[in-house]
Every structure is written in structure tokens, then in C-alpha cells.
């Protein structure tokens, strides 16, 4: 998704005598209302202050005052990922805007529809190193679908409408609108709806029929097909269409880290998550396939391992709405550009027509995969130090809460365990930072998801390292009555980094001990910290207390709940394909057989 290289605002239509005259700041609020925004996350500051005055009177927009702009960005991401709507974050100029950069980059990597609105210094001061000036348009150009700079009040409605259109269509992603303070303060006729003219922006949604037919024939003739499902299926809301195609073809399905829930875990054809920490059947199915149909996936290095050795015998059908992704890493034999919601319907119809006379023979393939599935069930070994198994904790959270909840994870070991040991049956139930791998994502993303889906239980599954980066948003949750549940998987370390140090650096654990939970001194004491924020705070150190704590959290809905689960630092994420090696690691898996055995 290459960024646009200009920041020009499409010109609004000619003024009319009947148009109300509004300040640029009033136009921001009115435009958001007319675009359907009902919730925004932000912090006021000098350069965006004019917008915050009319925002106070906007009855149709709920503003959530966060404690850090990064929290605003991640909350808007969580809001968008849970609901499918555009998330909105607002910040002031300079450090306010730059604090949004991490969340914008995160949204860009994971195709999240995000609108970032920032204030800018007076246009007459731009380029003078004025107080809190930063070229946020230039800074964000590589990590947005487009970045607008607005210097005139009459340009506000068209810029915001265009930003919404760009963020939510094609491959979704973040768009930034930077508005100078004089543009916010000056007046102009407010014309709605504005005429949007986006030259060169023409997302392709309908795929070419010949490519669809070619893919259908390959599916009918394949002996070892795999449907490789990426996050694009969720973003295009195509889970039902995927299920119909999978059941028509009988092909095994693997769902990437970003696609968990796009296809039900309970479905007979689902082999699990592929990649570095994927299930053995999912990894080997891709590696040994003769046909891979990639659906909204981008052949990420965490899936392919060493790309040159990935699936050497497979023909590739690659479907994506973003043509830049096709053949970027693995050359596609049949490239298909289009919206998956439409492509999957067309492909299913085409396949059924071909299969009437030429049905695939994949019984042997399934016999082989079922054998692998039986040999390597996903499980975990008991801990060596007697402390809680983090896998057990996360598994029980999922089992006691159920598939209708939303689970937002931070980044690290707990993220992978949450992807592995919670069963996902529906799209938009699993939120995480997949591409950027942003620590601190979970708590604000869960907060945003709860605002978007107030009737669902929302868990933030976080590590003790991640939690300390954005836990201040618990104050936001308490004050705004956003009762999320937070499970801190507290192994007193930067767990994933520690795991790599154990495996690849001779156990030299350099600067990964956080001192948060295993000794008599806890820095910080998470129970005291959460209590200070006004949350219900619990600590769990034994397996016997796990279920009671989770049940208490599920029964508490008048405030956030934080549970400090003190777990073993020695627990590892298995399976694991080391970085930069081939996915052909069946012997590697056998050598680590205890890691795949279910705990008694």
C-alpha cells in the first residue's frame, strides 16, 4: 500500500448563498457527525484547541479523553478492528502528533481504517521551527494511505470526507488530516456533501473473470491444495464467503495471526495458524502443498520462514485488493486483484461448475494431514519451577469467556499463546498488533473495542512488559465507565526476548528481567497500581485460583478488572520455526515432542 506523495486537498465546490458559515473547527465537528462518527479518542492542546470548543457541544459524538496520544491511536484501532468502522483519533501539533505515529504505523501494517486529525501551527509560522511545530504530513507519508494538509477553512469538509473514503475503501488503512490553527479559526461556507475528486485512487474490487476461471481449474485438479487465509478476509467481511468456498472444495484452511476467527477453529477443515509459532499441521500443509490459494495474505516472513525455500512445489494463486502485494514476495502463477467478498463468491461458483465434471481427489492429502494432526496436537508441558503455566491461564480465559467476546493482545509470548489457546469462532474477536508488533497495544485497543462493542466482554491479554507502556489508559476506562478485563501474564521478564536469548544466545538473559512478580519486591505491584486507578485488582499464583479469578472478572461490570497472573518465566512458545530457516522442520518438531503434549 504505497503512500501517496502529495498532500494537496481536493478543491471544494463553488460556494452557495444557502450554505451556513462555520469556522474550520466547527466544520471539523460537523463533518465528523455527517460522516457517521459517534466516538473519537484524543487529547486537546494549543494547535487543536479551536476544534475542542465546538466538540464540547456535539451531542452526537462521544469524546474519550485518553492519557497519551498513542493510547488514542490504539483505541481508535481497537474500535475499528472490533466494529469494522473507521476509528478516529485527535491530537495537537508537535509531540501530540508524533505520539500518534506508532499507532498510525501499526494501522498501516495491519490495514486498519483509521482517521488521525492533528492540529498544526499557524500557516504563517510553518517552516520557522515554531513552538510545537512538526511536519507531521511529511513524517507520516510513508505510513499512511494519504496525508492531507489543510490551510483553508473551506477545505475542511472535503478533506475529511476524502480521508474517510480513502481509509475505508480498497485496502483499509490510516489517513492523516493536519489542519493549521488559522484554518480552524477562520470562517467559510460549509458545503455538504462535498465533491470528492481523488485522481488516481480507483480501488479494483471486481476481479477478472479469466483469472477466476484459471484459479477454479487449479483447485479442481490439485491433489494437495491449501487455502492460506490472511487478515484481508476479515477486513473485507468475507468470512461466510470463505466458509462456502472451503466447504465446496474440501481443502484444508490455515488462518494467519491476523486472520484468527476468519474461519472457525472448530471446523473440521481448519488446521490452525501457520508460521513461526503455528501448528505443525498448518506449517507442513503449506510447505508440502501443490497449490496454495492465498486470500488476503501477504506471504509475511513470519509465515514463510526463508522465502526462497517456502512451499517449493506449490503453484500460487494470490488474491488481494492491493495489487502491490501480489508477487511482492512470492511470484503468483494466477494473480487476482479484487475485493475478497466478491472474489470468493465468483471463485466458488466457478469451482462448482468445474467440479461437476472434474472433482478433485484429495483423500490421500487429508489422510496425511490428519495423521500429522494426531501426532502433533497443540498442547503444553508442565512448568519446571512449579509456577503457573501461562498457556493454562489463557486457555481458561477463553473457555470460561467464550467465542462472543473480544480478545486484544499485546506483543510477545502472551500474544502467541492467546492466538494458539483461545478458540476463535467468529471474525473481529481477535485484535493484535501483527505487522508492527507494537508493545502497549492491548489495553488501549481493548478500551476502543469496548466502546465500539459495549455489549461484548472485552479482554486485554497483556504481558508485564507491554502493560507498563500504556496502563495509564486504565484511568480513562474508569472515568468513562469502560469496564474491560485485563489479564497480566506476569513472567517478570520480557518473555519473547528472553526466549530468544535462551535459544540463540546461550541463555545469557541480558536486560530482560523486569522484577515484577517472582520475588518479594514487586516493581511495580500491579495489584496496588490497578487499585490506585480504581479497578478491581486481583493476584493469582496457583492453578486452583485461576477459574475463580476469571469468574469474578466476568461478573464485575461496574469497573475495569485487572488480574495479575504470576506465571513461570521458563515457559516457551512452541512450536517455533527459528527465523531465517525453512519451514520443513518435521524433524525439529519431533525433537521437541514434549512441547506438543497436552498437560495432564
Active-site residues, by number, are 69, 131-132, 181, 496
The x, y and z cell numbers of residue 113, run together, are 481504517
Using alpha carbons, select from 69, 167, 70 the residue that is nearest to residue 111.
167
The x, y and z cell numbers of residue 150, run together, are 489543510
Residue-by-residue DSSP string for 350-368: HHHHHHTTS----HHHHHH
Q: Taking the chain, what is the end-to-end CA distance rounded to the nearest angstrom?
A: 47
The x, y and z cell numbers of residue 118, run together, are 492533528
Q: How far apart are CA 22 and CA 84, in angstroms?
A: 31
Q: How far apart are CA 188 and CA 474, in angstroms?
A: 40
Using CA atoms, how far residue 577 sits from 280, 337, 526, 588, in Å, is 10, 31, 33, 8
Using alpha carbons, select from 450, 541, 453, 441 the residue that is nearest to residue 490.
541
Q: How far apart are CA 336 and CA 317, in angstroms?
A: 7
Angle between helices 340-355 and 239-249 (to 10 degrees): 20
DSSP 593: G
Q: How far apart are CA 526 and CA 539, in angstroms?
A: 8
Q: Is 556 in a helix, a strand, or coil?
A: coil
Q: Are the beta carbons of 150 and 212 closer than 8 angstroms? A: no
Q: How far apart are CA 309 and CA 303, in angstroms?
A: 12
Q: How far apart are CA 232 and CA 229, in angstroms?
A: 8
Four-residue CA torsion sign, 398, 403, 407, 409: positive
Other C-beta atoms lying within 10 Å of the C-beta of residue 299:
22
Angle between helices 69-83 and 442-452 (to 10 degrees): 50
Compute φ and ψ for 521, nearest 5 degrees: -95, 120
Q: How far apart are CA 279 and CA 508, in angstroms?
A: 28
Q: How far apart are CA 574 and CA 277, in angstroms?
A: 6
Amino acid at each position: 500500500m504505497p503512500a501517496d506523495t502529495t498532500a494537496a486537498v481536493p478543491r471544494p465546490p463553488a460556494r452557495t448563498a444557502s450554505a451556513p458559515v462555520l469556522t474550520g473547527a466547527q466544520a471539523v465537528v460537523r463533518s465528523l457527525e455527517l460522516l457517521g462518527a459517534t466516538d473519537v479518542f484524543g487529547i486537546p492542546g494549543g494547535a487543536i484547541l479551536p476544534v475542542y470548543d465546538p466538540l464540547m457541544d456535539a451531542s452526537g459524538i462521544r469524546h474519550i479523553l485518553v492519557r497519551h496520544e498513542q493510547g488514542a491511536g490504539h483505541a481508535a484501532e481497537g474500535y475499528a478492528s472490533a466494529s469494522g468502522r473507521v476509528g478516529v483519533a485527535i491530537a495537537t501539533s508537535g509531540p501530540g502528533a508524533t505520539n500518534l505515529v506508532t499507532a498510525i504505523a501499526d494501522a498501516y501494517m495491519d490495514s486498519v481504517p483509521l482517521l488521525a486529525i492533528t492540529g498544526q501551527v499557524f500557516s504563517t509560522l510553518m517552516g520557522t521551527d515554531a513552538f510545537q511545530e512538526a511536519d507531521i504530513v511529511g513524517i507520516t507519508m510513508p505510513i499512511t494511505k494519504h496525508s492531507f494538509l489543510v490551510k483553508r477553512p473551506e477545505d475542511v469538509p472535503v478533506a475529511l470526507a476524502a480521508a474517510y473514503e480513502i481509509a475505508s475503501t480498497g485496502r483499509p488503512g490510516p489517513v492523516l488530516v493536519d489542519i493549521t490553527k488559522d484554518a480552524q479559526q477562520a470562517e467559510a461556507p460549509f458545503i455538504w456533501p462535498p465533491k470528492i475528486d481523488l485522481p488516481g485512487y480507483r480501488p479494483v474490487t471486481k476481479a477478472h473473470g479469466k483469472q477466476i476461471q484459471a484459479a477454479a481449474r487449479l483447485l479442481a485438479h490439485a491433489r494437495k491444495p491449501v487455502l492460506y487465509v490472511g487478515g484481508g478476509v476479515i477486513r473485507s467481511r468475507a468470512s461466510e464467503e470463505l466458509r462456502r468456498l472451503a466447504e465446496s472444495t474440501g481443502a484444508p484452511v490455515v488462518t494467519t495471526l491476523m486472520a484468527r476467527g476468519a474461519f472457525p477453529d472448530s471446523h473440521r477443515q481448519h488446521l490452525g495458524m501457520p508460521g513461526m509459532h503455528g501448528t505443525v499441521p498448518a506449517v507442513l500443509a503449506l510447505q508440502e502443498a501443490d497449490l496454495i490459494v492465498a486470500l488476503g495474505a501477504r506471504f509475511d516472513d513470519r509465515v514463510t520462514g526463508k522465502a526462497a525455500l517456502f512451499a517449493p512445489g506449490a503453484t500460487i494463486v494470490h488474491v488481494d485488493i492491493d495489487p502491490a502485494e501480489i508477487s511482492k514476495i512470492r511470484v503468483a502463477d494466477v494473480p487476482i486483484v479484487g475485493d475478497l467478498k466478491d472474489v470468493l463468491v465468483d471463485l466458488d461458483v466457478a469451482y462448482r461448475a468445474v467440479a461437476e465434471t472434474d472433482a478433485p481427489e484429495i483423500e490421500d492429502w487429508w489422510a496425511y494431514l490428519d495423521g500429522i494432526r494426531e501426532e502433533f496436537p497443540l498442547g503444553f508441558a508442565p512448568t519446571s519451577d512449579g509456577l503457573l503455566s501461562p498457556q493454562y491461564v489463557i486457555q481458561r480465559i477463553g473457555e470460561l469467556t467464550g467465542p462472543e467476546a473480544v480478545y486484544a493482545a499485546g506483543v510477545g509470548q502472551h500474544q502467541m499463546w492467546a492466538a494458539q489457546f483461545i478458540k476463535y469462532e467468529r471474525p473481529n474477536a481477535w485484535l493484535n498488533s501483527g505487522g508492527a508488533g507494537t508493545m502497549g497495544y492491548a489495553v488501549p485497543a481493548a478500551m476502543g473495542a469496548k466502546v465500539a462493542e459495549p455489549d461484548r466482554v472485552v479482554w486485554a491479554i497483556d504481558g508485564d512488559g507491554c502493560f507498563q507502556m500504556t496502563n495509564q489508559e486504565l484511568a480513562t476506562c474508569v472515568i468513562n465507565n469502560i469496564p474491560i478485563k485485563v489479564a497480566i501474564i506476569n513472567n517478570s521478564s520480557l518473555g519473547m526476548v528472553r526466549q530468544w536469548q535462551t535459544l540463540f544466545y546461550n541463555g545469557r538473559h541480558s536486560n530482560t528481567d523486569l522484577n515484577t512478580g517472582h520475588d518479594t519486591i514487586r516493581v511495580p505491584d500491579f495489584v496496588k497500581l490497578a487499585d490506585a486507578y480504581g479497578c478491581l485488582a486481583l493476584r493469582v499464583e496457583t492453578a486452583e485460583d485461576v477459574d475463580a479469578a476469571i469468574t469474578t472478572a466476568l461478573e464485575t461490570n461496574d469497573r475495569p478488572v485487572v488480574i495479575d497472573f504470576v506465571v513461570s518465566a521458563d515457559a516457551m512458545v512452541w512450536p517455533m520455526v527459528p527465523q531465517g530457516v525453512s519451514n520443513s522442520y518435521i524433524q525439529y518438531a519431533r525433537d521437541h515432542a514434549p512441547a506438543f503434549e497436552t498437560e495432564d
